[in-house]
Amino acid sequence: MSLLSIRDLRTEFTTPAGIVRAVDGVGFDVAPGEIFGIVGESGCGKSATCRSILRLFGGAPARVAGGQILLDGVGDLAAMPERAMARVRGRDVAFIFQDPLTALNPTMRIGRQIAEVIVRHRKIGRAEARAAALDLLRDVQVTSPERRLDAYPHELSGGLRQRVVIAMALALSPRLIIADEPTTALDVTVQDQILRLLRARRDSAGTAIILITHDLGVVSQVCDRVAVMYAGRIVETGPVREVLDRPAHPYTRALIAALPGQAARDADLTPIEGSPPGLIAPPPGCRFAPRCRLARPDCALGAPPALRARTPGHLDACILSEVPDVLA
């Protein structure tokens, strides 16, 4: 039984140039206690997919235009009225934003910001909430937590602020945490600490995590399963080792080939030519076809190809029956 089950999700942004279909028929499942990675370039729809789950679009003119977001024991979040959705946010599903520098209210003390989420969902007094906030800061290994409670965000370093953001996410022991590039804004050593913290939480409390990133290294380090997104659709998904070691879709292969390798230096770096298509009027057929070195004429025909399994649990959306191994 999966904890979260997304079916044919469609999310649209209304822009002056037209309707951008940022998420166009995305579906995946997340099991309890699983760390599920979503990777892709900027603008591929990975962030929009996850923001759709809790309907947090940062004031952008976006809406979930179709599909289902089934949360176990709660129902279809996509069809849920705002009032009921507010009770799910923070309690069943928590969200960690990318930039800890801007994700905290600059004029509110840390302790109050953490306590706020507890007070919202539980009948609890001010002092109790403050004590709970202190415990949470300890849980995320903030040094001298008593002192931080009354600090303002600008008095903390980026790494500490991200720990505070994580403390707020952990406050009510949600079953699912969505982390939208939680380490992108941090330097490498801090990145590692934050990822360990998230994984430790999964190991101790069985919290499922959806981790959005553009960093395949992060994926291989912490994720159990991964989905690769391109132009609003998932092109490949499966267990991390499977996808990274035996990538099936040409886009996944190109993505891995574009990584700086360990052996050679320049020879290993193979950039992907061209840029992703616009999502107001995406090209027909496979959306990667215009940039794909293996594309055949029938790749650019009809509807985008659906995901299908080559081996059990490892799915990809390439119509070629045998993908030649020319890129890897």
Would you tell me which residues interact with other proteins (CB under 8 A)? 54, 56, 58-59, 82-83, 86-91, 94-95, 97, 99, 102-108, 116-117, 120-121, 152, 154, 165, 168
With a CB cutoff of 8 Å and minimum separation 6, the contacts of 123 are: none
State in angstroms the smallest separation of the CB of 173 from other proteins. Answer: 14
Q: Which is nearer to other proteins, 179 or 190 (CB)?
A: 179
Whichever of 165 and 231 has its CB closer to other proteins, that residue is 165
DSSP string, 105-128: -TTS-HHHHHHHHHHHHS---HHH
Closest distance between other proteins and the C-beta of residue 113, in Å? 8
Work out how close the CB of 16 gets to other proteins at its nearest, in angstroms, rounded to a whole number.
11
Phi, psi of 243 (to 5 degrees): -65, -40
The answer to whether 48 and 59 are in contact (CB under 8 A) is: no
Q: Which of 14, 311 has the CB closer to other proteins?
A: 14
Give the C-alpha separation, 15 to 58, whole Å.
Answer: 15
The two three-digit tokens of residue 56, written as one number:
């947090």
Compute CA distances 257 → 43, 63, 92, 216, whole Å. Answer: 20, 35, 38, 11
Contacts of 237 by beta carbon, 8 Å cutoff, 6+ apart: 28, 225, 226, 227, 228, 243, 307, 314, 315, 316
Closer to other proteins by Cβ: residue 166 or 327 = 166
Q: Which is nearer to other proteins, 87 or 147 (CB)?
A: 87
Distance in angstroms between the alpha carbons of the first and the last residue of the chain: 35
Residue placing its CB nearer to other proteins in the complex, 164 or 317: 164
